[in-house]
Structure formats: C-alpha cells, structure tokens
Amino acid sequence: IHVFLTQIDLCIEAFGTSKQKRALSSRRMNTVGNDILNTAVTKAASNIIDAKGVTALIQDMAQDDVQNVSIFLPPCNEDADKAADVYKFEDILSSAEYEALQVPAAVFVNITPEEISKKTEDKSHCSFVLEELKFLPTDEKNRDHKARCLWFLDTLIKFSYLKMIKKKHPMGPECPHIISKKLMKNFTSLTYNNGSVQNFISASMKAKIAAYVIALALHINNFQTDLTVLQNDLKLQESRMMDIARAMRLKVSKAKGLPGLENDENHKLGTLSLPLPVQKASGGQRKRKKMN
C-alpha cells in the first residue's frame, strides 16, 4: 500500500492539477524527511503513467498551467519603496551565479559594431539583446554588468525554446555549470518516459521564464521595457504576455514615441512604478472558467 501511495504522489507531483498538488502539499506538511526516488518506485510510477499515456498527462497539465500565472512570478516585495526592490536583482541572479557570468559575457563586453551587425544578420541572439548591445555603457563596470544581464537573458529565452531536455548541459559548454543547474532546477518540470525521469518545459515553466525575462529586462531598462519585443523573442501570444505583465503589476501602455517605433504603434510598453497597481484576475483564469 505504501509503495502504491508513493506512486500516486509521484504522479501528482509530475502531472497533477494545481488543486491536487495543493492537497498533496497539505498532507505532507507534518511529514519529516525527504522523499527518495528509487528505481523500484520509478518503475511502479511509470506503470501507472503508461496506463494513461504520457501525452495525455502532459496535455492535462498544460491545460491546468493556464489557470494561474501568479504562482510562477519572481518574489514580489509589495512594500518596496523603490522600483528596484519590487523584484530584487538577487532573486533573479544570486551573487555566485552573477559571478559565473563574467567569462561567457566577455564576448558582449568586447563586442564591436561590426560584430553586432553580423549577429543581427545571423539572428544569433534574440532581438531584445541585439538592440541593447548597441547601447552598452562606456564605463567598464556598468558595461560588464549589462553584458552579464544580457547574456543570461538571451540564454533564458533560448532555453524556453526547448521541450524535452535530454542533455545534462542543454545550453552548451560555454554555459557555466551553476547556470545550467539553475535552468534545470528552476525552469523545468519532471516527467517519466520509458522508465526514466526527464526534464521538460511545460506551459507553466515557459510562463515562469517569461516572468523572469521581464523582471531582468526591467532592471536593464530602468524599469520600463518593450513587452512586444520580448513577447516575439519568447514566441508567446500577446494575451499570454499581457497576462504575465499585469500579474507582475506592470502598467501596460502603447509604446508610441519610442525610438525606432514611429511607424509601429502596436508595441506594448511595460512600466514598473510605485504605487503598484491593484492586481486583477488574469485572462488565463477567465479562459479556464469559460472552458468549465
């Protein structure tokens, strides 16, 4: 019986709805110790999952993912007295992670206008990063800081394109180990496939990546950023992006008047300012209610 219950718990963790996961969390509140995923339990859980099919389970979870965006946002300090402290930089990148970015970000620190043009032609980086590389600060400290932020933002966006992750270091050898570990731990979900545990990027994890990308872009752009550029880079629908931005308490407006947008007034601008707007129900919640 214990093994069977453990199997069910593992299934709920990987594929359960938000309601089921909350129930599981409540039941475990008084439990001491960590669950150990051994071979026997993995095999038993796989049998249960195979009975329904991995595809169906993933679809079930993806449908539930649109229910509530807010639980995937970076920690929000509603009592902050300045915009920089609403989504603290340290909650996006720890000091150790930030330090590790110095080596890979050096390619941005030393970039030339000719190299930016070549990268733009090749589309080797996302549009947001390619545009921001044109405006790197001249002083060494600020230039290095922005380069590190842009390198991580670009890596986050590229990571969001992946689905089932089969490699231990999916972003390549140039990505520091601590960053690879962060991506796998914080921005993937677990699934079971052919008796083994695999990481994949669910709809909820893509929303979480988008939220952290927005938070980092706000720090880069003095807490006002073009959401449409980020939305296109992340390959998200506008409604999904706006749900995430509003859940993050941004003021959304038309980006008319921004440099380079004189002939395109359809861009949306996100601004983080105090006092924070009152939070409203997301479009994802309304859609879910309608589906029921």
Residue 254 pLDDT: 86
Residue 290 pLDDT: 44
pLDDT, tens digit, 9 for 90 and up, residues 53-75? 555 555 545 444 444 566 789 99
Sheet with 164-165: strands ordered across: 164-165, 196-200, 189-193
Amino acid at 1: I
Residue 173 pLDDT: 85
Count of CB atoms situated within 10 Å of the CB of 267:
18
Cis peptide before 275 (omega within 30 of 0): yes
Amino acid at 42: T
- The residue that leads in pLDDT, 24 or 139, is 139
Residue 165 pLDDT: 85
Model confidence at 18: pLDDT above 80: no
pLDDT, tens digit, 9 for 90 and up, residues 191-219? 777 777 788 898 889 999 999 999 999 99
Q: Which of 34-38, 57-61, 149-153, 166-170 has the highest mean pLDDT?
A: 149-153
Model confidence at 139: pLDDT above 90: yes
Beta-bridged to residue 191, according to DSSP, are 198
Model confidence at 29: pLDDT above 80: no
pLDDT, tens digit, 9 for 90 and up, residues 94-121? 999 999 999 999 999 999 999 999 999 9
Average pLDDT, whole number, for the chain? 80
Q: Which among 272, 219, 216 has a CA at the least distance from the CA of 247?
A: 272
Beta-bridged to residue 271, according to DSSP, are 224, 251
User: DSSP of the chain, one letter per residue?
Assistant: -HHHHHHHHHHHHHH--HHHHHHHHHHHTT--S-----HHHHHHHHHHHHHH-HHHHHHHHHHHHTT-SGGGSPP--TT-SSGGGTS-HHHHS-HHHHHHTHHHHHHHHT--HHHHHHHHHHT-S-HHHHHHGGG--SSHHHHHHHHHHHHHHHHHHHHHT--EE-SSSTT-TTS-HHHHHHHHHHS-EEEEETTEEEEE--HHHHHHHHHHHHHHHHHHTTTEEEHHHHHHHHT--HHHHHHHHHHTT-EEEE-TTSTT-TT----EEEE--SSPPPP---HHHHHHHHH-
If you search the block for the tokens 């007034």, which residue do you land on? 265
- Over residues 227-256, mean pLDDT: 92
Residue 222 pLDDT: 94
Q: Say how many CA atoms lie within 13 Å of 217 toward its Cβ.
A: 32
Residue 207 pLDDT: 93
- The residue that leads in pLDDT, 94 or 280, is 94
Instruction: Write out the two tokens for 77.
Output: 């300090």
Beta-bridged to residue 4, according to DSSP, are none
Residue 149 pLDDT: 97
Q: Which pLDDT band, with edges at 50, 70 and 90, does 172 fall under?
A: confident
Q: Which pLDDT band, with edges at 50, 70 and 90, does 33 fall under?
A: very low
pTM check: above 0.95: no
Residue 242 to residue 228: CA distance in whole angstroms: 9
Q: Which pLDDT band, with edges at 50, 70 and 90, does 287 fall under?
A: very low
